[in-house]
Structure 1
Amino acid sequence: MNSEATVTKNPSTIYYKETGVVWRLSNYFLEHIPFDHQNLVFCCIGTDRSTGDALGPMTGSFLTQLVSFPFQVVGTLDNPLHALNLEEITEELKRSPDSPYIIAIDACLGNANNIGQIIVHPGPLFPGKAVKKELPPIGEVSIKAVVNIGGFMEYNVLQSTRLNLTFEMGRVISRSLLLAWHRYNLKDINNSHRNANNN
């Protein structure tokens, strides 16, 4: 759970119920995520023990159910990536022969006007900040979803977050990632055909 809903490094932000949100969010993902990287890993952070903090593992579960999504997903409802195992698993990923390019996905708290916003930006996120935990930053790109109001009684706020909100936002993120991947593939195929025709 990340507490900072505002970022300074060129964030792209969209409300999860906006018209055409899946298509528009996939545009943001195409701008920020290098789908051609040889070791692209999606780290979905959070725990299934809290409705507010379940956004990450719920998104991870959605992604693993998408047969045509080919990338490694770490953090699901069945096997969450959370404060107790985050450092260990991150170190394990870094020991891979091919350096991973990590996309970090997490819930965050913000002000009342920002609830329901999905924020995509370059650079790491800082898991655990909302509940005053010191965890290492993670990710080359961050995807954050504002699930509730921050600033006071964070544990209680997370526990009282509506499950429907985290479910719907997780579903939007996963569908948008899949669409971005398919669009990237189509663009790649079209470029190959164009090059072949030119030759």
Structure 2
Amino acid sequence: MNSQATTIQHPSTIYYKETGVVWRLSNYFLDHIPFDHPNLVFCCIGTDRSTGDALGPMTGSFLTQLVSFPFQIVGTLDNPLHALNLEEITEELKKLPTSPYIIAIDACLGNANNIGQIIVHPGPLFPGKAVKKELPPIGEVSIKAVVNIGGFMEYNVLQSTRLNLTFEMGKVISRSLLLAWHRYNLKVVNKSNSNTNDD
């Protein structure tokens, strides 16, 4: 759970119910995510024990169900990536033969006007900030979803967040990531065909 919804640089932000949100969010992902990286890893942070903080693992579960999405997913409802195992798993990822390029996905708290916003920006997110936990930053790119109001009684706020909101936002994020991946592949194919025709 991340609380830095209002202090990020050059974010791309969109409301999850906006018309054409999946297409527009896929544009943001194409701008920020290097789909050609040899070890792209999606770290979906949160816990299934809190409706507000379930955004990450719920998104991770959605992504694992997409058979045409080929990337490693860390953090699902079945195997959450949370405060107790985040440092250990991050260290394991760093030991891989090819250094991972991590896309970090997490819920965050913001002001009332920001609830429902999905925020994409370069650089890491800081898990646990909203509930005053000190955890290492994670991610080369961050995807954050504002699920409720921050600033007071954060644990209670997370517990009382509507599950439907995290479910719908997670669905939008996963569908947009899949679309971005397919669009990236189409670009590669079209570029290859164009080069072939030029020969």
TM-score range, shorter chain: over 0.9
- Provide the rounded CA distance (Å) in 2 between the counterparts of 1:21 and 1:83: 30
- Provide the rounded CA distance (Å) in 1 between the counterparts of 2:98 and 2:50: 34
Gaps of at least 5 residues in structure 1 are none
Q: Superposition pairs for residues 29-178 of structure 1, below 5 Å? A: 29-178=29-178
Letter in 2 for 1:154: E
**Structure 1 residues 190, 7: closer, same or farther in 2, change over 3 A?**
farther
- What is the SS of the residue equivalent to 2:168? helix
- What is the SS of the residue equivalent to 1:169? helix
Counting aligned pairs with the same residue, the percent is: 90
The aligned counterpart of 2:188 is 188
TM-score by length of 1: 0.99
Instruction: Between 8-17 and 183-192, report the one with greater CA deviation.
Output: 8-17
- What is the SS of the residue equivalent to 1:97? coil
Q: Cα distance, 1:58 vs. partner?
A: 0.1
- Provide the rounded CA distance (Å) in 1 between the counterparts of 2:81 and 2:126: 14
* Cα distance per residue 1:73-117 (max 9 Å; x no partner): 000000000000000000000000000000000000000000000
Letter in 2 for 1:156: N
**Structure 1 residues 188, 7: closer, same or farther in 2, change over 3 A?**
farther
TM-score by length of 2: 0.99
- Provide the rounded CA distance (Å) in 2 between the counterparts of 1:89 and 1:192: 37
Letter in 2 for 1:179: L
Runs of 4+ residues over 2 Å off in structure 1 = none
- What is the SS of the residue equivalent to 1:120? strand
Gaps of at least 5 residues in structure 2 are none
- Provide the rounded CA distance (Å) in 2 between the counterparts of 1:115 and 1:184: 30
Q: Cα distance, 1:132 vs. partner?
A: 0.1
